Each structure stands twice: as structure tokens, then as C-alpha cells.
Chains A and B, each alone.
Chain A
Amino acid sequence: MTTEILLAGFGGQGVLFAGKILAYCGLMDNKELSWLPSYGPEMRGGTANCSVCISDDPIGSPLVLAPDILVAMNQPSFDKFVNDVKSGGKIFIDSTLVESKCERDDVECYYIPSSQLAEDNALKGGSNIILLGKLLKETNLFTLDTMKKAIEKVVPPSKAHLIENNFKAIEIGMNN
């Protein structure tokens, strides 16, 4: 089985980073996986997105067109991708920045005010990880332990002091 995940938001919100954590989770669990960023000029402040596939079998196209899971971190991304999500899929929404509600009844939506939560908890830029925490809780794609290990791997050594903050953000996401 292949789980296709699409993460989308503004450049700078950390969608590629969050995608990387999911990819490393797959690596830790000995799964097949792929991670593909959008790499156009949109990386410089426009919309950025990133496709992650996790599977037991070799991955065909790494480009996710119909995600099982969508993480939407801003309004334009939500508008652009909400109708691409597979029936029965799950959508994780930063409700601080996305005002509209999903009108589909064949998908499950989780509205988390992740930007607000990040600010309230002094986790600047942690909105992406809070959403990952929620994703972890609602999908059982990986264990918390796997995700913690992945975070340790993805955070560069020069920023090792931020690992604890990421763990905290995961926890907030899981409890909201």
C-alpha cells in the first residue's frame, strides 16, 4: 500500500522541512519512500509544496496528484488542492491562516489553529510541526518514537538546540 502525502503552504513555513521529517520516518521504518519538492521561483515566498510517498513497494511516480493526506498551511494551498484529495482522505488545516471550511463530505478534515498555537507556546515557525503532530495522531502512519528519531536526523547539528522545541510542537499537535 502507498500513502501519498501533499504538504503545501507559503515558502518559509517549513513545508519542505515537514515533508523531510515524514520521509525520514519512512526511512527509519524501512519503507520505500520518495520526497519531491516544488522547486520553482515559488520557493522564494510564494506557494511551496512537497510530495511525499510512503510505501511497502517501490514508488512509481513521486509526484503526488491525488493525495491520501493533505497538509494545507495557507488559504491558496487549501483552495488549490482541496478537491484533489482522494475520497476517504484526510486534510490537516492550519485554521489560523485558512478561513474557509471544506465543503466535501467524503474526506476527514482537522482544523488546527497551528500558527496561533505556535505563537502561544513560543514556538516560532513551529506551525508545520504542530500539524505533523496532529497527522501522527490521526493516521497512525508512524509511531511517536519513529517521528522523534526522524526529527533528530533532519534537524542539522548546528540547530540541535531546537530538537526539544520540535518535540514539544509534536506533542501540542497530538493534544489538539
Chain B
Amino acid sequence: MERNLMKGNEALAEAAIRAGCKCFFGYPITPQTELAAYMSKRMHKAGGVFLQAESEIAAINMVLGAASTGVRAMTSSSSPGVSLKSEGISYLAGSDLPAVIINVQRGGPGLGGIQPSQADYWQATKALGHGDFHILVYAPASVQEMVDMVVKSFDRADKYRMPAMILADGLLGQMMEPVSFPEINAEAYDKSSWAANGHQNKREHHIINSLYLKPDELQTSVYERFERYEKIKADETDAELYLTEDCDILLCAYGATARVVKSAVNSAREIGIKAGMFRPKTLWPFPVKEINEACKSAKCLLDVEMSMGQMIDDVKLAINCSKPVHFFGRTGGIIPTPAEILEEIKKIGGAE
């Protein structure tokens, strides 16, 4: 397969087009802008629509409208912009609509900074908008995975009729790596039972709605959604386990941080410390089974993030606090170095 050299942001866009995305609505924000720029050049040639909306809020609601008709639609932004989209994402979830949302994270809170960060984990996995709902969250760690996960997220969004998010960061968005585009045979999901795409007086009209004024009807719709979530938790978790079979210390990291952690794990092995790494590729659903498999031989865990510690909550829950979980993180746009992670490994490895 031909290897291309592409920025993560551009690869996300190209993958979406190849996965059959027909509508892209966005608004520029660093460090994600190349994605929208790429879409503006390519989308019309691919027979789709690129539209720069007047705001993030407009963009996500355009996605809601497009998704209502059954076409594959996407929006992208970075942290502050994703906050603006949160209402629309809740409406998408409440309307059982498939869509893909990309967050190329930067430092926060507020306008924060423009350097890479992972401080939106809680937002993505716990509370991307109000109400009882989840969205699928994928965490790529390379430009190639960005491509593969975009394709997968469109598929799973359609399959489960729910929004899916790619949670990337500025490092992955800005870096170039070799990438190849697989032959994509996007599975066509039958949306004829719900898509509001014109009934031509031949069928009952379809209503896309998230408003239920009768509590029992709302409860029923939420129950139904949560039954789907149970199936997703059973079938859709994905993780990379690296040198975990005999590890004494298990490092947990996702996305760009996992690359740095892997280097630190290799260095630790070179000096005789049995370190391993668990890297969730799906953040929701969190790979509970996989982390328990990975930490079987571990005496303790070390969670590393570009935040003050957010995924660590899920790590502790997933292993039921059965082992000590330490934390090391940098925030504000600072990328941890392999050397400082190795220091942490030594410190913890020596103490226990």
C-alpha cells in the first residue's frame, strides 16, 4: 500500500471523505485548522459539502440537520470549540443520530493555550453535554490510527445510531507521519426507517426529536439507549497491551502520551525494570476487561496524562482499586518527556 506523508489533521479529513462523509461543517481553531482547510479544498471534488459555519454552535447544529437526513456528517474543533458544541451533541444523542465529532485537544480551561493537551478526557467520556447519555470515544496515537479510527467511528456511529468522537490532541494533529489509506468498503446501513429525507407522500413522515414531555416516554427512550450501551461495552472495547505479560509496573496512557510512555517503558526494560503499558484505544467504552488482563502480574500502576489526572478515575474504577495507582502528568500544553516518566517508574518501582 502506498505510504503518504500527511499531517494528522489532514489525514483525519481525507479518511472522513473516503469513509463517505458527505457534509463537513466547521469553524477554524488552532491546532485543528488544517482539517477544515483540507476539507475546503477536497470536499466539493468528492461530491460533498464543506461549509464554514458562523460559529461552532451553528456547525454542530448543521451536523444535526445533515445527520437527520441519513448522510454521514462530521464537525471538528479544539477544546474551547468543543465546549460550544456540547448542547448540539446532547441533542444528537437524544435524537439517536449518528455523527462524528473531532476534538484536537489544546490546553484549558477557558481559552487556555494552543499546545497539546489531554484535559478534555472527562468532558469526552463523562459529560459531553447534559442528560443521560454516552458517545463513543476513540483515542488515536498515530496518524495511521487517526485514519483507521475515523473510518471505524463513522461505521459504529451508524451501527449504533449515536455520535462518535475522535479525541486527538495538538501533537497528533500537527505531526506528519507515513500513512496509508486502506481500501474502504463502507458498510451501508439501512436508515430508511428513520431518516428524514423526504417521504414523497409514500410513507409516514419521520420525526427527528429529542423532546419527550411525558416522563415515562422519556424514561423508556433513555432505557432503550442504555441497553444499546451495554452491548457496546461488551463488544466495542479496544486496547493495546505492550509488554504486560510479566510486568511489575503497568503504565496507563492514551493518545500521544502513550508514545512517550512506550519509550519510557523500553528504557525501563533496558535497566531491568519490568514495565509494561496499557493503552486504551476506546475511552468510552473503557476497556475494563483488557486493563484487568494487562495488570495481572503488576504490583502497581502508573497513569500518565497530559492533564492533572482524569483517566486515572476510570483506571481505578476498572480495577476496582485492587492495586495502587500512581499518577504523573504535565498540563497546560507541556508534553511529558520519556526521561521524567522513567524517573517516576524508578521512584515507584523502587518503593514497592
Contact = CB atoms under 8 A, between A and B. Distances in A.
Interface string A30-44: 101111110110000
Contact of A36 (B3, B5, B171, B266): B171
Q: Please tell me the size bucket of the interface on B.
A: 20 to 34
A60 interface: yes
A27 interface: yes
Interface stretch (A61-69, A75-83, A139-147, A162-170): A61-69
Contact of B260 (A30, A36, A37, A61): A61
A27 B5 contact: yes
Given A35-B5, A40-B114, A23 B176 contact: yes
Interface in A117-172: none
A1 B104 CA distance: 30
Given A27-B3, A40-B114, A61-B335, A34 B175 contact: yes
Contacts of A39: 30-31, 114, 170, 174
Nearest to A24: B5
A30 B178 CA distance: 9
A40 B176 contact: no
A32 B178 contact: yes
B326 interface: no
Interface in B174-211: 174-178
A60 B175 contact: no
A59 B31 CA distance: 22
Contacts, number: 54
B338 interface: yes
Nearest to B175: A36
B69 interface: no
Contact of B171 (A24, A40, A62): A62
Nearest to B30: A39
Interface string A51-64: 00000000111110
Contacts of B337: 61, 63, 65
A33 B338 contact: no
A60 B30 CA distance: 24
B171 A63 contact: yes
A129 to B, nearest CB: 18
Contacts of A40: 114-115
B55 interface: no
Nearest to B114: A40
Given A27-B5, A63-B171, A35 B260 contact: no
Interface in B26-52: 30-31
B263 interface: yes
Contacts of A60: 259-260, 262-263, 266, 338
Interface residues of A, number: 19
Given A23-B5, A61-B337, A37 B174 contact: yes
Contacts of A33: 5, 177-178
A161 to B, nearest CB: 23
A63 B263 CA distance: 12
A33 B259 CA distance: 13
Contact of A34 (B3, B114, B177, B266): B177
20 contacts: A20-B176, A23-B176, A24-B5, A33-B178, A34-B175, A36-B171, A36-B174, A36-B175, A37-B174, A39-B31, A39-B114, A59-B259, A60-B259, A60-B338, A61-B259, A61-B260, A61-B263, A62-B175, A62-B259, A65-B337
Those 10 A-B pairs whose CB atoms lie nearest each other, nearest first: A60-B263, A35-B176, A61-B260, A36-B175, A62-B175, A60-B259, A27-B5, A39-B174, A34-B177, A60-B262
Given A39-B174, A40-B114, A62-B177, 18 more contacts: A24-B5, A27-B3, A32-B178, A33-B5, A33-B178, A34-B176, A34-B177, A36-B171, A36-B174, A36-B175, A59-B177, A60-B260, A60-B266, A62-B171, A62-B175, A62-B259, A63-B335, A63-B337
